[in-house]
Structure 1
């Protein structure tokens, strides 16, 4: 059994946008065991991320002129929908801001990028030839869930449910307030077999590579690359 588009989560892909591809690859390879490889069959020779032979994400170089100067390093998360143009219209009608209008990404799919009413960026993806990540449900170091922490979690849940038509069974909307609140952003949750080992390898990579916090009484562990690309980690099945 594999995790297919829309079967366990409506999110289907992540893209690490960085100016330090080698440093980013070195960090996540060491800490999580991700494998970074150039896709020789892609005319762009894009870098892909693999875990256990399964493709889970890609990497984009922010030095590419397609990105505006000063674009900060970040992880773009893609939400699968049935019709990008229609869902983009629904999102903007419900308070989202359009960043990149819908366009065809070659024959792979059609996409658009928005910022939701809470302030979190996300991309919509309508698959043509490429459906997104596909991996066994309990695969270690692979995406398991998505989290949006913001001060209006109920509003966020309604917004995504009403505008995407996507299943959100592997998505958490978490309320944060006061000093703990930061600019809302989507984060991927990576399940690991050996959380202590991951934390130790992260700390060995630098003093700011691992942070611990709490959300609604539940511990949260984050890994941060040297550029500040963050993923959440938790023990599998926890």
Structure 2
């Protein structure tokens, strides 16, 4: 896991769309120690920066539609949003929002892969994204959960030029062979009940302790803490508004 800075083609930012921003502020403060500040400008739409110290590490936003399911969205850095949107469409994906400018901060678009997994594209100007990775409370990994792994293997390298390191157990995504994320296949009840999605994993000092904190803060454990070969621990949690995310020891 070698996320260390925003690089074209890699994750650079994560945003939570939620039905209850104040509750999300409280939950993630308890879990990760985030300090959240809401932009007071009406045109910002309640956009809230989550910080560790003075460093922005994530964002919380109000749901834009009443029927919108709370969820995390992973943003990938690009040097040209418009060109990447063209690549998404050429590879069979869909443009959902944009491209559009965000004040002086950058340019973005929201897209979906052919199976429907949503992600964002970010072309940095004044704001590059998070400057801290793989530290406690920050993004360390991004995982695609999809019912169509073969389609994803065709789509993402065509759009971003990603390298693929696949075994029977897991598929790793990388840029120039440097892995930043992975992919798991959805099947059974998950494939029937849950849409394809990109899920962020946040680094924590101790997975079992953080998972217990999530339960005490009214969250859930979708996958209880478990130890992977090599000694790393992971878990998948859900916040009180039911947005899923992972935690891991980096």
Q: Same fold (TM over 0.5)?
A: yes
- Structure 2: distance between partners of 1:99 and 1:213: 33
Is the CA contact (8 Å cut-off) linking 1:81 and 1:165 kept in structure 2?
Answer: no
Structure 2 regions of 5+ residues with no counterpart?
A: 163-174
Secondary structure of the 2:179 match is coil
Match of 2:122 among 121, 125, 128: 125
What residue is the counterpart of 1:162 in the other structure? 158
Q: Which moved more, 1:22-31 or 1:32-41?
A: 32-41
- Structure 2: distance between partners of 1:97 and 1:41: 30
Is the CA contact (8 Å cut-off) linking 1:140 and 1:191 kept in structure 2?
Answer: yes
What residue is the counterpart of 2:97 in the other structure? 100
Correspondence 1:233 to 2:229: no
What residue is the counterpart of 1:203 in the other structure? 215
Deviation at 1:190, TM superposition (A): 0.8
Question: TM-score, normalized by length of structure 1?
Answer: 0.83
What residue is the counterpart of 1:222 in the other structure? 236
Deviation at 1:162, TM superposition (A): 1.1
Question: TM-score, normalized by length of structure 2?
Answer: 0.80
Deviation at 1:214, TM superposition (A): 9.9
Structure 1 residue ranges, 4+ long, deviating more than 6 angstroms after superposition: 40-43
Q: Which moved more, 1:170-179 or 1:89-98?
A: 170-179
- Structure 2: distance between partners of 1:199 and 1:214: 7
- Structure 2: distance between partners of 1:27 and 1:106: 29
What residue is the counterpart of 2:181 in the other structure? 171
Count residues in correspondence: 227
1:30-62, CA deviations, whole angstroms, 9 ceiling, x for partnerless residues?
A: 122222124579984742111244211112123
Is the CA contact (8 Å cut-off) linking 1:154 and 1:173 kept in structure 2?
Answer: no
What residue is the counterpart of 2:57 in the other structure? 56
Q: CA RMSD in A?
A: 2.8
Structure 1 regions of 5+ residues with no counterpart?
A: none
Deviation at 1:26, TM superposition (A): 0.8
